[in-house]
């Protein structure tokens, strides 16, 4: 004997069944249609330039145009034999590691302070985000005036220190220039890290602190054994983000020093710009760009590996 649902299905007109099928097909296609704009964007503005850059690294392109000449691995051989490339890569690693340490340390300290209850905490948090909110160009212009060797305000305070009797050339001395590039980059980015760490601190259960207090732990021990392990995944993520942001930083470095003096602050990104758009060596610039892309991808893969090991409960 036929069931009620079967009788209803048999009684429906074929046109109604066709409408339901078309509606089902549209529902199945909807996710793909929603994803299509993102796929087109990624393909045209990200994947295609990457593929074009990789192809250009195997060719030789003349300044006057014309068809590129295939040269194979000669550009990569030139890069590996280029002492300037390795110096720039060293500058990049020093700059990246220093920015990670300074920015995360400043973000952690400010997050611990602003996570406590005190009068005016909301206003203080808002003021802290100002460096992150400022555009990069006005920020650099302000610091150029501050660090001016003739009338910069920083020299007023520096000459109060013992042993300093003349104005320092902050951005014209190689070691001092790198220090200031690192400090300004960290100052510009630490509010973002601080806000993320504050959000992580607020997810730490209060019961853990109560248990640590009952066990006689002092604030430093509570931070070491409760706070730090709880926010360690967040700190790891921020370290990776800081490494990627600093690795591809161009505007601050270019406007502050242009990679000088004598290449002391020149990073991989600045070298790519100089090679391609100042010396018009597009193929070699693309080769350095591929090397930088591989380094950034390696950093991301290390982060994924660490995350997988943490999820599996394995030590690093």
Residues 123 and 229 grouped into a single domain = yes
Residue 221 lies in a domain: yes
Residues 35 and 85 in one domain: no
> Which tokens hold the place of 192?
């973002």
- Which of 51, 69, 87 delimits the end of a domain? 69
Tally of domains in the chain:
2
CB 95 within 8 A of CB 252: no
Please tell me whether residues 80 and 65 are part of one structural domain. Answer: no
Q: Is residue 2 part of a domain?
A: no
**Which residues face 69 on adjacent strands?**
60
Same domain, 33 and 157: no
CB 265 within 8 A of CB 91: yes
26 and 128 both lie in a single domain: no
Q: What is the pLDDT along the chain (316 residues), one digit of tens a residue?
A: 555 555 554 555 555 555 556 666 667 788 888 888 988 988 888 889 889 889 999 998 877 666 788 988 999 999 999 999 999 999 999 999 999 999 999 999 999 999 888 888 889 888 888 999 889 999 999 999 999 888 888 988 888 888 888 888 888 888 899 999 999 999 999 999 999 999 999 988 888 888 888 888 888 888 888 889 889 888 988 998 899 899 889 999 999 998 888 889 999 999 999 998 888 888 999 999 999 889 888 888 888 788 777 777 665 5
Would you state the pLDDT for residue 78?
93
Do 43 and 82 fall into the same domain? Answer: no
Listed residues 54, 69, 84: the one ending a domain: 69
Residues 118, 46 share a domain: no
Residue-level pLDDT at 206: 85
Domain residue limits at 50: 17-69
For residues 49, 52, 53, 57, the Cα torsion angle rounded to the nearest 10 degrees is 180
Same domain, 241 and 150: yes
Residue 12: inside a domain, yes or no?
A: no
128 & 172 share domain:
yes
Q: Is residue 172 part of a domain?
A: yes
Residue 70: beta bridge partners? Answer: 59
Nearest alpha-carbon partner for 236 in 181, 175, 168, 307 = 307
């Amino acid at each position: 004997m036929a069931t009620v649902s079967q009788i209803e299905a048999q009684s429906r007109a074929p046109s109604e069944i066709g409408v339901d099928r078309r509606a089902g097909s549209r529902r199945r296609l909807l996710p793909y249609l929603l994803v299509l704009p993102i796929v087109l964007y990624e393909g045209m503005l990200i994947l295609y330039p990457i593929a074009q850059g990789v192809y250009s690294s195997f060719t030789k392109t003349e300044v006057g145009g014309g068809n590129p000449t295939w040269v194979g691995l000669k550009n990569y051989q030139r890069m590996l034999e280029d002492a300037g490339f390795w110096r720039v890569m060293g500058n990049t690693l020093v700059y990246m590691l220093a920015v990670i340490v300074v920015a995360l340390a400043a973000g952690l300290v400010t997050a611990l302070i602003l996570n406590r209850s005190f009068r005016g905490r909301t206003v203080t948090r808002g003021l802290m985000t100002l460096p992150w909110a400022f555009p990069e160009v006005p920020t650099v212009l302000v610091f150029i005036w501050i660090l001016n060797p003739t009338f910069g305000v920083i020299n007023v305070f520096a000459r109060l220190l013992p042993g300093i009797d003349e104005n320092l050339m902050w951005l014209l001395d190689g070691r001092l220039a790198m220090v200031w590039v690192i400090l300004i980059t960290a100052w510009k980015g630490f509010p973002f890290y601080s806000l993320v760490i504050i959000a992580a601190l607020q997810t730490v259960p209060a019961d853990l602190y109560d248990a640590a207090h009952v066990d006689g732990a002092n604030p430093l021990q509570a931070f070491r054994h409760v706070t730090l392990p709880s926010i360690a995944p967040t700190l790891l993520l921020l370290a990776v983000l800081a490494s990627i942001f600093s690795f591809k930083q161009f505007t601050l470095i270019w406007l502050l020093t242009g990679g000088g003096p004598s290449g002391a602050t020149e990073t991989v990104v600045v070298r790519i710009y100089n090679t391609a758009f100042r010396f018009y060596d597009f193929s070699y610039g693309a080769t350095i760009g591929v090397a930088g892309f591989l380094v950034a991808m390696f950093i991301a893969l290390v982060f994924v590996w660490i995350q997988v090991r943490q999820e599996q409960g394995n030590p690093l």
